Amino acid sequence: MSAAHHHSLALLHGLFLLLLLLFFFCGGADGSEVPPPQNVTTKTLNTNYTLSWDWAPGAAGTHAVTFTTQYVPRYQLRFKKKKTPNWITACNQTSHRSCDLTRFNLHYLGIFVLRVQATVDGQHSEWAQKEFCPDKEAALGPPSNVTLAPAGSDLDVVLTDPLTSNNTSMREHVPDLYYHVQYWERQADGQASPHKQLRINTTMVTLPGLKAWTWYCVRVQSRYDFYSKISDFTVPHCMQTEGSIPWWNIFLYFLGSLLFFFLIVLGTIYSLFRCCKTVKDVLNPSDQMPSHLKKYLCSSPGSDIPRLLTPDSESELLCEGVTICPPPAVLESHIPPAEELAAPPSGLEPNSSVRHSRQDSSSSGDSGVYSSGGGSSGSSALKQLSAVRHNHMGSDDSFKGLLDPERVNLREMTAHLKSQPEVADEGVVDVCV
């Protein structure tokens, strides 16, 4: 009976172990088999915070793994018996090995508890936690900007405070912030020169004891002594100092400027002169066409050479049209006095008289038209003159003496000049016969 009893006890013991193994195997559904993240750390700069961690790649096998990150102020965990802490999820089911907490604006002087959990195929790991205090753990950044400006033989250094994630000065969170300045002379051969140190609490400083016309380099770092925070140095900024300019240097600058200005003005005047001369030569060339060539080109209409000038065009260029209008005709009539008419020459009848009329002409001064003094008297005078001629046919000498034109004209002209005024226009005297 004892052997059977021991055998039954061994079976019960084996069943108990089997059930215990099954219990542990089935208990993996609550996340005890998924390993939690390892090496949870924070990467910070000023007010930029990022939580990062490590996780073994082979722990999930062929399944995908995701992570969830949460945070809560630490003071809420101290009163968890009175109030359940309110965990805030920063990153939910992400595949990245980090979570950015900057956008949550964690208070710089607060203390927070951060935790991260891994999830594989619906199974969760335990939470990996870490406390975080920005004021103590957040790294301090260097000045956001460094500017150098020459001040004679010295250099002015102008700094810009480190900036927060909201682009505000870090002095709002770190009032005791100060700067450590290093500057040195830059050697032409590249050899290192001793560095000079300077501590400043302001954002502007003038570096003393520098040489004129010498290159210097400057770099700056931020410091906070309460938590022994020291930032990285900025990139070195180099600049050359200035100094008083020698008089001979000023004189050379003046001569160079004067010479340059003179050359510019001279070149401009010469260019304008050449342009004007070229335009003048094009519009009015000094080389005229030979006369024989000009005559040939004008007088050869059938030649193959193009006619540059024509007689018509030349006459149009040299002449202008003139219209000549003749003056109006002036008719002058002179009547001899009565005493001359009363004594006619011998051989003529007393009533016979001839009136001489002259019509001025524009073409000749001594041309005239002779007409009788009246219609009836003129015809009677001619008849009397014809009768006298027939009566004196026998004596030619007497007729010639009676009708000699020169004698008659002189006689009548003398008598007429005594009684009539002179005509001043053409010097012609009207004579009555």
Identity of the amino acid at 10: A
Q: If 0-12 CB within 10 Å is exposed, 13-18 middle and 19+ buried, where does residue 34 land? A: buried
Which tens digits make up the pLDDT trace of 181-229?
999 999 888 787 899 999 999 999 999 889 998 999 999 999 999 999 9
Domain carrying residue 281: 250-287
Of residues 160 and 425, more confidence is placed in: 160
How confident is the model at residue 292, as a pLDDT?
73
Kindly state the average pLDDT of the residues 46-67.
Answer: 88
For residue 79, the model assigns a pLDDT of: 74
Structural domain contains residue 46? yes
7 inside domain: no
pLDDT band at 378; cut points 50, 70, 90 = very low
Instruction: For residue range 87-100, list pLDDT tens digits in order.
Output: 999 999 999 999 99
First to last CA, the chain: 215
If pLDDT is split at 50, 70 and 90, which confidence band does 368 have? very low
pLDDT at 49 exceeding the cut of 90: yes
Report whether pLDDT(266) > 80: yes
13 inside domain: no
Give the list of residues 6+ apart from residue 402 with CB closer than 8 angstroms, or none: 345, 346, 347, 388, 392
In a domain, 16, yes or no: no
Structure tokens at 33: 């088999």
**pLDDT exceeds cutoff 50 at 51:** yes
Note the pLDDT of residue 359. Answer: 40
430, part of any domain: no
In angstroms, the CA 133 to CA 107 distance is 9
Identify the DSSP state of 167: S
The larger pLDDT score, comparing residue 51 to residue 295, is at: 51
Confidence of residue 291 (pLDDT cuts 50, 70, 90): confident
Residues 270 and 310 in one domain: no
Mean pLDDT across the chain, nearest whole number?
Answer: 75
Confidence of residue 283 (pLDDT cuts 50, 70, 90): confident
Same domain, 197 and 109: no
**Is residue 369 classed as helix, strand or coil in its secondary structure?**
coil
CA angle 229, 232, 235 (to 5 degrees): 155
Q: How far apart are CA 114 and CA 129, in angstroms?
A: 5
Q: Categorize the per-residue pLDDT at 245 as very low, low, confident or very high, splitting at 50, 70 and 90.
A: confident
- CA–CA gap between residue 65 and residue 283 (Å, rounded): 92
Sort strands 65-73 and 48-54 into parallel, antiparallel or unpaired: unpaired
Are residues 76 and 37 both part of a single domain?
Answer: yes
Rounded mean pLDDT of 250-269? 92
In this structure, the answer to whether residues 171 and 265 fall within a common structural domain is: no
Q: Is 425 part of a structural domain of the chain?
A: no
Instruction: Give the mean pLDDT of 33-60.
Output: 91
Residue 150, pLDDT score: 93
DSSP secondary structure string for all residues of 99-112: EE-GGG---TT--E
Please determine, for residue 366, whether its predicted confidence score (pLDDT) is greater than 90. Answer: no
Q: Is residue 235 domain-resident? A: yes
pLDDT of residue 84: 82
Per-residue pLDDT, 7: 55
Q: Which of 107, 137, 167 is the last residue of a domain?
A: 137
Percent of the chain with pLDDT over 90: 45
pTM of the model: 0.54
Chain-centre distance for alpha carbon 285 = 39
Q: Is the pLDDT of residue 26 over 80?
A: no
Same domain, residue pair 133 and 180: no
- Position 245 in a domain: no
How high is the pLDDT of residue 228? 96
What's the total number of domains in the chain? 5
Inter-residue contact 107 to 134 (CB < 8 Å): yes
Q: Does residue 111 sit in the same domain as residue 72?
A: yes
Q: Name the percent of the chain lying above pLDDT 70.
A: 60
pLDDT at 318: 54
CATH code for position 181: 2.60.40.10
